[in-house]
């Protein structure tokens, strides 16, 4: 293994479990343990546990926090209540992505951004430079937390055994503080990146605590067939749910409307970084290309970066993320194509290893969790 | 898993049966383990000429595509159609799940390939443990 990779506190646990490790954005992370498909299915039908401690945490504190958050993220944080979170993104002035984030409102003067691992330093520097003109203090707490994601229809029952927080009272994209595994004042959020119900908890990042909590969650989930899950399953789960991944569906060269994230972008809240450029895109009649869902009709797997072609064989776009979908048992992809070809039902082709293979545009998301009964 | 001693192995992680004019070809246990859950196998066609060291097909796991390189020159006499609907057979028993059978142009070509213990050492070195 190459040196210089960063490790989470749970790295020895992953290695002990025999996980296959990969370099993920400079982090030595588990890609799979028992097998990607089994892990994916555990999250769709039972429960899975992910170490997502490589994610970053940036906190805003002070009277100018809301103003700063409003200026550097595209969703409307003024609509948040204490205990509520929202999906949002930080944009460059040209309306393209610095990163996507989850904004948590701790109090009127206290907000937390949870950001991606691969962009941590870039994000933090960006936030510091943008927030400097506001009356608030920005801190990088990324290394202070081990972040665990407990995901799946049995996530609530699993975690409820370990906490005094009434989890049934936390709505999707809300959070609470409580005792988890004996740790007081632990942040428990009903968030995730799997398209499934689930929670993310933030505990102290020392090895002993991290390992103890990991073990207790596994034990609590045993009756539901809990599996430790790696980044491989995390990727296929988020792809089925059509959730964006930085560097694929969103990047510094892709704007908000192209990525189809309009509903998280509140231009009406007033000016913010990127809003002017996006208003121009809107005034010009919208973006020229759009992110669409593709289902491969013929035999073949569309992969990241493959070309997309129209019926006549002309190159029209590319696959941002493509993979077999273990739960849907289809080969699916998120792809950028011209707006005129973005309608569901449109037939296109994906060039799979020099062969054009038929695919069609389908509505997103590919997978939607069943409604609770 | 043990590497059969009646097979020869490539550095690209294929195995080939030694000792007969028509030989089965597959991928090694180490290869299937590295790939993870295999979901797709692209087979050659019966009658195809295959060349030593050249691509004759591919296997795909959820995560990745991996080309298959022929261990020898020859002509494809059979392909394992079962793998089209059940590619996971390779994960279950890579040394039994043959992909193609070829009639060897020159069986002595296999002498240059790795023997079981040589391949095992090579595979270990590659994973670093």
Range of the domain at A148: 11-52+144-240
* B62–A326 CB contact, under 8 Å: yes
Per the domain annotation, does A189 fall within a domain?
yes
What's A190's domain CATH number?
Answer: 3.30.1360.120
Distance CA B46, CA A20 (A): 36
Give the residue on B whose Cα is nearest the Cα of A34: B36
Spell A27-65 as b/e; 16+ CB within 10 A means b: bbbbbbbebbbbbbbbbbebbbbbbbbbbbbbbbbbebb
Does one domain contain both A294 and A229?
A: no
Q: If we measure between CA atoms, which residue out of B27, B43, B34, B26 comes closest to residue B84?
A: B43
- pLDDT tens digits along A292-306: 999 999 999 999 999
Which of A16, A34, A35 best tests the B interface by mutation, with the highest count of B CBs <10 A? A35
Please give chain A's pLDDT, 373 residues, in tens: 456 899 999 999 999 999 999 999 899 999 999 999 999 999 999 999 999 999 999 999 999 999 999 999 999 999 999 999 999 999 999 999 999 999 999 999 999 999 999 899 999 999 999 999 999 999 999 999 999 999 999 999 999 999 999 999 999 999 999 999 999 999 999 999 999 999 999 999 999 999 999 999 999 999 999 999 999 999 999 999 999 999 999 999 999 999 999 999 999 999 999 999 999 999 999 999 999 999 999 999 999 999 999 989 999 999 999 999 999 999 999 999 999 999 999 999 999 988 999 999 999 999 999 987 5
What is the value of ipTM here, to two decimals? 0.86
**B62 and A323: CB-CB below 8 Å?**
yes
A48 and A159 inside one domain:
yes
A203 and A303 both lie in a single domain: no
> What's residue A3's pLDDT?
66
pLDDT digits (tens, 9 = 90+) for A2-50: 568 999 999 999 999 999 999 998 999 999 999 999 999 999 999 999 9
- Give the CATH number, domain containing residue A300: 2.40.30.110
Question: What is the pLDDT, as a whole number, of residue B129?
Answer: 47
Q: Please check whether residue A329 touches B, CB under 8 A.
A: no
For B32-90, what is each residue's pLDDT tens digit? 999 999 999 999 999 999 999 999 999 999 999 999 999 999 999 999 999 999 999 99
Indicate whether A163 and A231 sit together in one domain. Answer: yes
Q: How many domains does chain B have?
A: 1
A321 to chain B, any CB pair closer than 8 A? The answer is no
- Does A210 fall in a domain? yes
Residues of B in contact with A227 (CB under 8 A): none
Total domains present in chain A: 2
Query: Is the link from the previous residue into A365 a cis peptide, with omega within 30 of 0?
Result: yes
Scan residues 120-179 of A and list those with Cβ closer than 8 Å to B.
none
Report if residue B36 sits inside a domain. Answer: yes
User: What residues make up the domain containing B118?
Assistant: 7-123
Kindly state whether residue A351 falls inside one of the protein's structural domains. yes
Domain-embedded: residue B80: yes
Among residues A184, A206, A240, the one where a domain terminates is A240
Both A299 and A191 in a single domain? Answer: no
Q: Do B40 and A301 touch (CB under 8 A)?
A: yes
For residue B78, the domain's CATH number is 2.40.50.100
Q: Do the domain assignments include residue B93?
A: yes
The domain boundary, picked from A184, A213, A240, lies at: A240
Are residues A232 and B62, on separate chains, in Cβ contact within 8 Å?
yes
State residue B128's pLDDT score: 60
Query: Can you give the pLDDT at residue A373?
Result: 55
Distance set, CA A352 to CA A85, A298, A305, A315 (Å):
40, 11, 10, 13
Looking at the complex, does the CB of residue A232 fall below 8 Å from at least one CB of chain B? yes
């Amino acid at each position: 293994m190459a040196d210089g990779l960063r490790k989470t506190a749970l790295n020895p646990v992953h290695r002990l479990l025999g996980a296959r490790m990969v370099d993920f954005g400079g982090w030595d992370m588990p890609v799979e343990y028992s097998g990607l498909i089994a892990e994916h299915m555990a999250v769709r039908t039972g429960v899975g546990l992910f170490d997502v401690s490589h994610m970053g945490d940036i906190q805003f504190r002070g009277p100018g926090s809301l103003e700063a958050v409003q200026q550097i993220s595209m969703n409307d944080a003024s609509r948040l209540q204490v205990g509520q979170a929202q999906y949002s993104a930080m944009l460059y002035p040209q309306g393209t992505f610095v990163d996507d984030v989850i904004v948590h409102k701790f109090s009127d003067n206290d907000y937390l951004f949870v950001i991606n691992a691969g962009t941590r330093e870039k994000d933090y520097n960006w936030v510091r430079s943008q927030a400097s003109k506001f009356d608030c203090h920005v801190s990088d707490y990324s290394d202070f937390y081990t972040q665990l994601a407990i995901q799946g229809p049995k996530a609530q029952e699993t975690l409820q055994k370990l906490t005094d927080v009434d989890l049934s009272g936390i709505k999707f994209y809300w959070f609470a503080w409580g005792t988890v595994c004996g740790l007081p004042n632990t942040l428990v959020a009903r968030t995730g990146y799997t398209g499934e119900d689930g929670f993310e908890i933030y505990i102290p990042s020392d090895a002993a605590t991290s390992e103890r909590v990991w073990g207790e969650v596994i034990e609590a989930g045993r009756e539901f067939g809990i599996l430790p899950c790696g980044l491989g399953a995390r990727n296929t789960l988020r792809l089925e749910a059509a959730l964006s991944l930085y560097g694929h569906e969103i990047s510094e060269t892709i704007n908000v409307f192209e990525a189809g994230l309009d509903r998280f972008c509140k231009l009406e809240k007033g000016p913010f970084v990127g809003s002017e450029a996006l208003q121009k895109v809107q005034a010009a009649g919208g973006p020229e290309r759009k992110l669409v869902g593709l289902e491969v009709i013929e035999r073949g797997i569309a992969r990241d970066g493959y070309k997309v072609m129209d019926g006549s064989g002309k190159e029209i776009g590319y696959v941002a993320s493509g993979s077999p979908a273990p739960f849907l048992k289809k080969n699916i992809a998120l792809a950028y194509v011209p707006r005129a070809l973005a309608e569901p039902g449109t037939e296109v082709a994906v060039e799979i290893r020099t062969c054009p293979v038929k695919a069609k545009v389908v509505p997103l998301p590919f997978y939607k969790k069943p409604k609770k009964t | 898993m043990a590497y059969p001693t009646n097979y020869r192995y490539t550095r690209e992680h294929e195995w080939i049966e030694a000792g007969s004019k028509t030989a089965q070809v597959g991928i090694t246990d180490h290869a299937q383990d590295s790939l993870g859950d295999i979901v797709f196998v692209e087979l050659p066609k019966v009658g195809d000429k295959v060349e030593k060291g050249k691509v004759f097909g591919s296997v795909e796991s959820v995560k990745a595509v991996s080309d298959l390189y022929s261990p020898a020159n020859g002509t494809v006499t059979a392909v394992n159609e079962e793998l089209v609907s059940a590619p996971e057979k390779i994960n279950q028993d890579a040394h039994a799940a043959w992909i193609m059978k070829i009639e060897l142009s020159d069986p002595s070509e296999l002498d240059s390939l790795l023997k079981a213990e040589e391949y095992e050492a090579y595979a270990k070195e590659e994973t670093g443990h």
